[in-house]
Amino acid sequence: QVTLRESGPALVKPTQTLTLTCTVSGFSLTTSGMSVIWIRQPPGKALEWLAVADGDGDKYYSTSLKTRLTISMDPSKNQVVLTMTDMDPVDTATYYCARVQLRAFDYWGQGTLVTVSS
Amino acid sequence: EVVLTQSPATLSLSPGDRATLSCRASQSVSNFLAWYQQKPGQAPRLLIYDTSTRAAGIPARFSGSGSGTDFTLTIGSLEPEDFAVYYCQQRSGWRGWAFGQGTKVEIK
């Protein structure tokens, strides 16, 4: 059974760095072609992709946010970690991780709401 | 970068009605278009991938079609559980991704 679960702080202050962890089960992060993506959704708004990492060690970032994002994989822990620097209230959103398969996102975590406020 | 535009923003229909949702790309894209359903407080759920292939467990009343820049999600006969927000999604450039802004299907 494939599952993904996001974890991280619910509240961060402006200018702080956010670190989120996606813990996966039911599939291997080291499988060639396997990817995990981070996506966010501000309250009442649309989905926005942030970063993706694959089992070959490649990483890709949203053009608009690439200077603030770092994605990494730790296959030994079955984890994919996203860091976002210089957080701002506009970054308040639910953050999801999802598995990339067949050019779509077939399994999603339940999401974690991150609020940026002083 | 590909921009996906969904229409209409809101679709007001009754159970049993047929729903037709549109997704238009800013440039001609491959047929790697997907559709998701999202209900309040839940993560999106994959419905359709590669334009017309239903994901596992998705009822046959959901169908996808299209090519080039114009794609459609059709719900053949709306069930009460189908009232939700629907998003289209496409690869954008090399290893980038794009989502539409969503269409809300609400009860009339």
Tell me the mean pLDDT per 10 residues along chain A, length 118.
Answer: 97 98 94 90 97 90 95 95 98 98 92 98
Q: Give the number of other CB atoms < 10 A from CB of residue A79.
A: 18
User: Among all residues of chain A, which has the CA nearest to that of B89?
Assistant: A104
Q: Which residues of A touch B91 (CB under 8 A)?
A: 103
CA distance A116 to B76: 42
Which of B44, B94, B101 lies nearest to residue A108, judging by beta carbons?
B44
From the CA of B15, how many Å to the nearest CA of chain A?
Answer: 24
Q: Six-digit token pair at B91?
A: 């690869």
Which of A47, A103, A106 lies nearest to residue B55, judging by beta carbons?
A106
How far lies B99's CA from each of A26, A45, B37, B42, in Å?
Answer: 27, 11, 12, 17
Asked whether residue B95 carries a pLDDT value surpassing 70, the answer given is: no
pLDDT tens digit string along B49-85? 999 999 999 999 999 999 999 999 999 999 999 999 9
Overall average pLDDT of the B97-103 stretch:
96
